[in-house]
């Protein structure tokens, strides 16, 4: 039995449940019903098809569930509006508890719906992908994409609890499992060299690997600590921004290629290599670390190069809209060692353009 992990945010602290999560979820639903509170679920159609009885076994009813299409395009103004109308048309009030049952797209969308509807209702995360289990379900960043960029609209809105059931990963397509591993590798690169070396020692990882639960928990521990220290990413340097290692590059790739062309984790994998190369150019880490990182990324069946005809000028324009930028200047997360990350400002555009070209952009 793995004990719950607490995200420590004073009166807004909440538990992350692990291998007893199905039991804990059922108990939560039962308590909400006993308190006469209304319950709604936003889910991913593919997840509902893969796990047709999961919600029913936890005590949810079919008429409480809004099913939305799979994929990054769902994280949009259109489906945000549809989800709000779902709640409003059923006269859901402030005692409504909203559950997200899906991956990062559904979790981010449902969280933003919860933050916005009636100026804020309770919500709970039931992540169903590796990426959402180790990263997006924890920490309270919610939001949607605009055509101009990723996560440009959203709110900080912490869940009341997170229920991580690794058994749900058994039906996850291999490509999506691999995409989740990019975020796992990221945590090793930014905060835990031992985790990174442990990953390197594995002969791959899949949903049935006995090492997986410990890996998921370790990533959640790292994120919970970072979020507790800098919940709303206001630290002048370091802090929560470090969780975006590789993401300034990744978000630009996703935006320019078109959301869904690359899975988020695939874009992050390319971004992690680029962030490593940038760290080398800044003389923060030795040149040999690039091959080291590339080897680990490829070990988990992830890309390290762009294979779409993306233009450097478009990628640079997308980067200018990144939320981490300050005073109109690009801001990156780099590494002083594999396992230690920092925020770095004042990097020239020419260096970044050259890195994009090395990665396969035009």
Q: Catalytic residue at 223?
A: yes
Query: Closest Cα to residue 107, out of 153, 157, 51, 149?
Result: 157
3-state secondary structure of 326: strand
Q: Catalytic residue at 251?
A: yes
Out of 119, 210, 283, 350, which one is annotated catalytic? 119
Q: Give me the phi and psi of 259, to 5 degrees please.
A: -60, 125
3-state secondary structure of 151: strand
25 CB-near residues (< 8 Å, 6+ apart): 17, 58, 126, 163, 165
DSSP character at residue 305: S
Contact 111, 136 (CB under 8 A): no
Q: Catalytic residue at 233?
A: yes
Out of 75, 150, 223, 273, which one is annotated catalytic? 223
Out of 264, 266, 273, 331, which one is annotated catalytic? 264
* Rounded Cα gap, residues 252 and 189, in angstroms: 21
Contact 177, 33 (CB under 8 A): no
Out of 17, 240, 273, 331, which one is annotated catalytic? 240
Q: Catalytic residue at 28?
A: no
Q: Catalytic residue at 183?
A: yes
CA angle 283, 286, 287 (to 5 degrees): 100
Residue with tokens 């928990």: 217
Q: Catalytic residue at 17?
A: no
Q: Catalytic residue at 244?
A: yes
Angle of helix 288-299 relative to helix 193-201, nearest 10 degrees, comes to: 60
Out of 72, 176, 231, 233, which one is annotated catalytic? 233
Instruction: Return the number of other C-beta atoms located less than 10 Å from residue 234's C-beta.
Output: 9
Contact 92, 117 (CB under 8 A): yes
Out of 17, 75, 141, 217, which one is annotated catalytic? 141
DSSP letter for each residue of 281-327: HTTSS-THHHHHHHHHHHHTT---S--S---HHHHHHHHTT-TT-BT
3-state secondary structure of 102: strand
Out of 17, 46, 150, 247, which one is annotated catalytic? 247
Out of 244, 254, 255, 273, which one is annotated catalytic? 244
In this structure, the chain runs to a length of 362
Out of 28, 72, 176, 183, which one is annotated catalytic? 183
Instruction: Give the DSSP H or E segment for 223.
Output: helix 212-229
Q: Catalytic residue at 247?
A: yes
Characterize the bridge pairing of strands 331-337 and 340-345: antiparallel
Residue 222 CA from chain centroid, whole number: 14
Q: Catalytic residue at 94?
A: no
Out of 218, 251, 273, 331, which one is annotated catalytic? 251
Catalytic residues: 119, 141, 183, 223, 233, 240, 244, 247, 251, 264
């Amino acid at each position: 039995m793995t004990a719950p992990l607490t995200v420590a945010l004073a009166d807004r602290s909440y538990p992350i449940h692990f291998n007893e999560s199905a039991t804990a979820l059922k108990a939560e639903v039962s308590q909400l019903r006993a308190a006469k509170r209304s319950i709604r679920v936003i889910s991913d159609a593919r997840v509902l098809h893969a796990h047709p009885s999961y919600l029913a076994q936890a005590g949810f009813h079919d008429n409480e569930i809004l099913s939305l299409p799979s994929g990054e395009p769902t994280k949009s103004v259109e489906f945000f509006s549809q989800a709000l109308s779902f709640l409003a048309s059923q006269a859901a009030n402030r005692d409504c508890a909203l559950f997200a049952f899906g991956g990062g797209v559904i979790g981010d969308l449902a969280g933003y719906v919860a933050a916005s509807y009636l100026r804020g209702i309770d919500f709970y995360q039931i992540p169903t992908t590796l990426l959402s289990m180790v990263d997006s379900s924890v920490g309270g960043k919610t939001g949607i994409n605009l055509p101009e960029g990723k996560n440009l609209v959203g709110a900080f809105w912490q869940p009341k609890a997170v229920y991580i059931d690794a058994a749900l990963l058994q039906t996850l397509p291999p490509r999506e499992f691999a995409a989740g591993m990019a975020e796992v590798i990221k945590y090793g690169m930014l905060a835990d060299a031992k985790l990174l070396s442990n990953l390197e020692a594995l002969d791959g990882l899949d949903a049935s690997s006995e090492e997986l639960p410990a890996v998921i928990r370790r990533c959640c521990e790292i994120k919970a600590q970072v979020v507790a220290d800098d919940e709303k990413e206001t630290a002048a340097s370091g802090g929560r921004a470090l969780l975006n290692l590789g993401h300034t590059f990744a978000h630009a790739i996703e935006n320019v290629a078109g959301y869904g062309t690359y899975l988020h984790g695939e874009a992050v994998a390319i971004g992690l290599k680029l962030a490593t190369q940038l760290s080398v150019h800044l003389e923060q880490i030795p040149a040999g670390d690039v091959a080291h990182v590339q080897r680990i990324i490829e070990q988990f069946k992830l890309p390290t190069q762009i294979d779409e005809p993306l233009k450097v000028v478009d990628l640079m324009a997308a980067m200018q809209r990144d939320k981490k930028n300050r005073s109109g200047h690009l801001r990156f997360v780099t590494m002083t060692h594999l396992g230690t990350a920092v925020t770095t400002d004042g990097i020239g555009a020419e260096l970044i353009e050259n890195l994009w070209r090395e990665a396969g952009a035009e």
